Structure 1
Amino acid sequence: MLLFSLFCMTYSYRIMGSDNYVLHTIFPTLSWYITIRLEYMTLFSSIGLYALYTVHLYPLDVNRKVVYAIAAFCFGFTLAALVLPPYYFTQLINPFLVVMIYCLIYTPWVYYKAYKRRRPGSQYAMLSVSVLMIVFAISLGHYWGYLPPLAFISFCCYMIFFFLQSLILSYHVSFNLNVAKQVAEESSRAKSDFLSTMTHEIRTPLNAVIGLTHLLLKGNPREEQAEYLDVMLFSTNNLLSIVNDVLDYNKIEAGKITFEKIEMDMAMIIRNIAKGMQITAADKGLEMRVNIDTALQTKVMGDPTRTTQIISNLVNNAIKFTSSGYIEVGAEVTNMAKHHVTLKVWVKDTGIGIAEDKHKLIFERFTQADSSISRSFGGTGLGLSISKKMLELQNSTLQLNSKVGEGSTFYFVQRFELPEKQVSKPIPVDAAADDKPFTGINILLVDDNQMNILIAQTYLKKWGATVDVASNGQEALDRFDHLKHRLILLDLHMPVLDGYETAKIIRSNGINTPIIALTANLPGEVADYAASTGMDDVVGKPFLPDELFNKVHKFVAATEVS
């Protein structure tokens, strides 16, 4: 674009300052010694600039040595017109015309090759060079006395040439932007794939750590051991939360996050979050308060996992930045109708507070109000950003009231539909585990990771089930007995034959035995595809005892009824 701009400037002088010398009627006192040099310098340099412009326009279709030789001749003549007396540099016109004629022959050839190879804007380049050849033919014919000036035709050709060249540049810029966009999208997809793979790989060993910790806590450890195990469980859950935060933010940016719409108890969610954070708050000497409107007596339709994540992020943030006082988490009914309810949910703290000019800044990803905060308090800086974006995707907004030194209140107002009917509550695993409710139930467990097998097998046997194990999909097909096995727990990513293909084969054989997918991805990521292959439900790794128990119980009970 710079070369074409310089070419336009120099060649415009050729149109105005030579031949009819229109420019001289505007500046009649210009020295002839200056104007004659400008006339020849612009003539020589314009062809050189156009040659270089062609190199950068279609670099793969030109012989660079030829074009650089043309440019060298032209700029050499330009230098001569600058420093030599007029008698000498005017003698260069005939050699220059030879170079120009060669350029007029070679340039269309370059554009023709670009057109054949379908370069961006090459069709306009072919038209523009055709028009330019007409202009130069008129100029040379007039110079040698064979043609009249034909000023109007030359003027029209110049206009068409510059217009077509502008189209070429516009097309070129548009093409490059599209290429850059595709590269950026490909890079984004590669980043998403990388993060998904990495989080999957991290979650798999975390499954072993969290699962074994739960099992050890159930084994009546000594008081000192139980304390260490609680710390280990807290730390691994914290690491899992960070991994999920990174993956969630990546999914939000890619527009791939989805929300469930199932029955949930908002009051219970808030109480459970407060109870779960009680120990962390107490370690800092903080009081954990719960304030729930007595008018909130009904369940609502929403995504309990995401809602828990949003409120937990806010409570974690409040605890992190509060050194004394209290944390209050609460909900208030602001509007109640027949089919929906509007709730205001808040988390209030007596922490360090946030300056008003920093209120918007803290919602940016990886950003905190002060660069020293991450060193003093820790964290990725993703929690608030994720919560804000998740709420916006549900037509709500995360808002803030805060003063420095007085604390902060984060809150959101969200409308929820009311359920038409109530669903059964999950069975607490501790209440049912001692009765061994799965006695006599044979389950086929399919997983290629020995630690995952150990943890799942230990849980299931503790609940009374008999477990057969397969390490890949093909082995599962060989071992499966539809008369014996009441349930299949099927890992998705395995060698030989993965879980998806295994489920398809089982269903294609007309077998309706329930299949629960096991995945180290977030369950929401794979739920739709798993369902399309015939699987009935998904359990995420790391296994949470309550979730695994209730999913197994649900389908075992269903097979008993049928």
Structure 2
Amino acid sequence: RMEILNRHKDGRDIWLETNQVPIRGDQGGEMSYIAIERDITAAKQNAQQLEEARQAAEEGGRAKSDFLATMSHEIRTPMNGVIGMAQLLEETDLDTDQKLYADTILSSAKTLLALINDILDLSKLDAGQISINPCDFDLHQCIDETIRLLRTQAEAKGLTLDVERDADLPRHLNGDDHRLRQILNNLVGNAIKFTEQGRVKVTVEAEPTPGGGVLLNWSIIDTGIGIPKEMLTGIFERFSQADAAISRRFGGSGLGLAISRRLAEAMDGRITVTSEIGAGSCFTLALPFALASAADITVAPVPERTGDTDGLSGLRVLVAEDNRVNRLLIQKFLKQTDLELEFAHDGAEAVDKVKSFEPDIILMDVSMPVMDGLEATRIIRSWGQPQPAIIALTANAFDTDREVCLAAGMNEFVTKPISRTQLLEVLASFAQAHRVQMTG
């Protein structure tokens, strides 16, 4: 059986599928064949069109990913300046009106940043780039910390946020607690946003699973505006709200539920909803987890934030950053510290200044003219002299960007926009490691 490209008598090329079977004669010497041929030209053309469509779809997907990566970088770079300068402005002496203006700038900038993060998360889910990273964690601590942040939002609206959990709810589980927090933030945050009076109630129960783990069943019940029955399935679609009036009244991108459902499915769970107009909604979340023992869980000590910068005294820091506003922002963030600060405007200048300045830590932007941060890092790592800690301080936000930076020899990956507290903490952690290394 084979496929043959043949030519029709009118000159057209045609594809034939031929099946040929040999038949021996009675005496075994003669051989004849039965051939069955079928014109498969149309099928071949359809297959070619499907292949071209597949290639076009893949190219479109790559173009979308490249676009989102580029736009994420281009938007995050000025956002770093907006949020950073607004934070610095809030620390100055302001009158009542000026403080209101600064708070509004900062709040609006953070809302825009949340939208950028949602779009990136959805893009990663579409491309299958969201990874689920299970680890052993304390479920009770996870619940308490998540609800503590959300309770502030509820109290600001005069709402009651209640939590009920099983008395025998297991404490130590294995799973991706970061994604669990993200889903709960979306679901409970939505309930608070669409509830103007009354309360939001969160319940969690555990039931054993055949594999020896547990299935956590969550219910998020609110007394909010409710959702029309015909919209109950559509609200999980991207950029979807129950109607345009709700979008104008309450705001939001309509991405939170779409992201939450896809994350739940990636964790082998599910999200469902029931609702009644004017009476509120009930979202149910079911997620499986494995059990873990308390001995398996290591809780990293949380450094006390005292604002003391003595640990940075005498530290030599080189900042490789081509954006003028970001250089100014870092200079202002570190103004009250007793460290030596030097700037490079591109990767090539950073390589030169490493030899003359001999920094302990380099804050390295990735996308720079002349030479990018990755190439500069590779060159620095190829030298035999004592090596500085190199921290990627970049607007690139994909997991693949982090992997590329670490593979090039960087020690850490920090995404813009960065706050003053975050910058001081990351510098302090590497300053401590550097002193331990120098003292042996």
State whether TM-score is above 0.5. yes
Give the partner amino acid of 1:555. Answer: F
Per the alignment, residue 223 of structure 2 pairs with 350
1:432 is paired with a residue whose SS is coil
Q: CA deviation at 1:500?
A: 1.0
Per the alignment, residue 394 of structure 1 pairs with 267
Matching residue within 361, 378, 395 for 1:520: 395
The structure whose Rg is larger is 1
Q: Distance in 1 between matches of 2:68 and 2:241?
A: 23
Give the partner amino acid of 1:186. Answer: E
Per the alignment, residue 229 of structure 1 pairs with 102
Q: Distance in 1 between matches of 2:340 and 2:136?
A: 33
CA 1:507–1:459: 2 relative to 1, 3 Å: same
Per the alignment, residue 422 of structure 1 pairs with 298
Per the alignment, residue 310 of structure 2 pairs with 436
Matching residue within 364, 368, 373 for 1:490: 364
Matching residue within 252, 256, 264 for 2:125: 252
Matching residue within 51, 56, 63 for 1:178: 51
Per the alignment, residue 237 of structure 2 pairs with 364
Q: Distance in 1 between matches of 2:134 and 2:291?
A: 9
Give the partner amino acid of 2:350. Answer: A
Matching residue within 514, 523, 532 for 2:407: 532
1:492 is paired with a residue whose SS is coil
Deviations 1:495-524 (A, max 9, x none): 111111111111111453221111212253
Q: CA deviation at 1:289?
A: 3.9
Do 1:518 and 1:540's aligned partners in 2 also have CA atoms closer than 8 Å?
Answer: yes
Matching residue within 453, 456, 462 for 2:330: 456
Do 1:489 and 1:515's aligned partners in 2 also have CA atoms closer than 8 Å?
Answer: yes
CA 1:558–1:390: 2 relative to 1, 3 Å: same
Q: CA deviation at 1:255?
A: 1.0
Q: Does residue 556 of structure 1 match 2:437?
A: no
Q: CA deviation at 1:528?
A: 1.3
Do 2:272 and 2:283's aligned partners in 1 also have CA atoms closer than 8 Å?
Answer: yes
Deviations 1:406-432 (A, max 9, x none): 22232423315647242423325xx33
Per the alignment, residue 505 of structure 1 pairs with 379
Do 2:363 and 2:390's aligned partners in 1 also have CA atoms closer than 8 Å?
Answer: yes
Q: CA deviation at 1:452?
A: 1.7
Q: CA deviation at 1:292?
A: 5.9
2:406 is paired with a residue whose SS is helix
Per the alignment, residue 417 of structure 2 pairs with 542
Matching residue within 211, 223, 237 for 2:84: 211
Give the partner amino acid of 2:302. Answer: P
Q: Does residue 322 of structure 1 match 2:195?
A: yes
Q: Percent identity?
A: 36
Per the normalisation by structure 2, the TM-score is: 0.82
Q: Distance in 2 between matches of 1:194 and 1:365?
A: 18
Q: CA deviation at 1:332?
A: 5.1
Q: Distance in 2 between matches of 1:424 and 1:522?
A: 25
Do 1:442 and 1:486's aligned partners in 2 also have CA atoms closer than 8 Å?
Answer: yes
Q: Distance in 1 between matches of 2:135 and 2:89?
A: 33
Q: CA deviation at 1:168?
A: 0.8
The 5 Å alignment of 1:214-293 reads 214-261=87-134, 267-268=140-141, 270-278=143-151, 280-291=153-164
Do 1:271 and 1:290's aligned partners in 2 also have CA atoms closer than 8 Å?
Answer: no
| Structure 1 unaligned blocks of 5 or more | 1-60, 62-102, 112-121, 128-155
Q: Distance in 2 between matches of 1:271 and 1:482?
A: 50
Deviations 1:470-504 (A, max 9, x none): 11111101001498421111111111111111111
Per the alignment, residue 252 of structure 2 pairs with 379
1:172 is paired with a residue whose SS is helix
State which drifts further: 279-288 or 211-220: 279-288
Give the partner amino acid of 1:183. Answer: A
Per the alignment, residue 28 of structure 1 pairs with none
2:79 is paired with a residue whose SS is helix
Q: Distance in 2 between matches of 1:203 and 1:555?
A: 25
Q: Distance in 2 between matches of 1:293 and 1:498?
A: 53
Q: Distance in 2 between matches of 1:496 and 1:342?
A: 54
Q: Distance in 2 between matches of 1:175 and 1:307?
A: 44
State which drifts further: 410-419 or 495-504: 410-419
Q: Distance in 1 between matches of 2:214 and 2:103?
A: 38
CA 1:372–1:221: 2 relative to 1, 3 Å: closer
Deviations 1:25-52 (A, max 9, x none): xxxxxxxxxxxxxxxxxxxxxxxxxxxx
Per the alignment, residue 22 of structure 1 pairs with none
**Structure with the larger strand share:** 2
Q: Distance in 1 between matches of 2:421 and 2:181?
A: 16
Q: Distance in 2 between matches of 1:222 and 1:509?
A: 53
Per the alignment, residue 467 of structure 1 pairs with 341
Q: Count the aligned residue pairs.
A: 413
Deviations 1:381-439 (A, max 9, x none): 111000110121122222334333222232423315647242423325xx332343311
2:59 is paired with a residue whose SS is helix
Do 1:270 and 1:329's aligned partners in 2 also have CA atoms closer than 8 Å?
Answer: no
CA 1:445–1:336: 2 relative to 1, 3 Å: farther
| Structure 2 unaligned blocks of 5 or more | 1-6, 19-33
* CA RMSD in angstroms, aligned pairs only: 3.4
Q: CA deviation at 1:345?
A: 4.4
Give the partner amino acid of 2:55. Answer: Q
**Structure with the larger helix share:** 1
Q: CA deviation at 1:347?
A: 3.3
Per the alignment, residue 403 of structure 1 pairs with 276
The 5 Å alignment of 1:11-22 reads none
Deviations 1:43-93 (A, max 9, x none): xxxxxxxxxxxxxxxxxx9xxxxxxxxxxxxxxxxxxxxxxxxxxxxxxxx
Give the partner amino acid of 1:236. Answer: A
CA 1:330–1:530: 2 relative to 1, 3 Å: farther
Deviations 1:229-277 (A, max 9, x none): 3332221111111111112111111111224445666555555554544
The 5 Å alignment of 1:141-160 reads 160=37
Per the alignment, residue 351 of structure 2 pairs with 477
Per the normalisation by structure 1, the TM-score is: 0.65
Q: CA deviation at 1:220?
A: 4.9
Q: CA deviation at 1:368?
A: 2.8
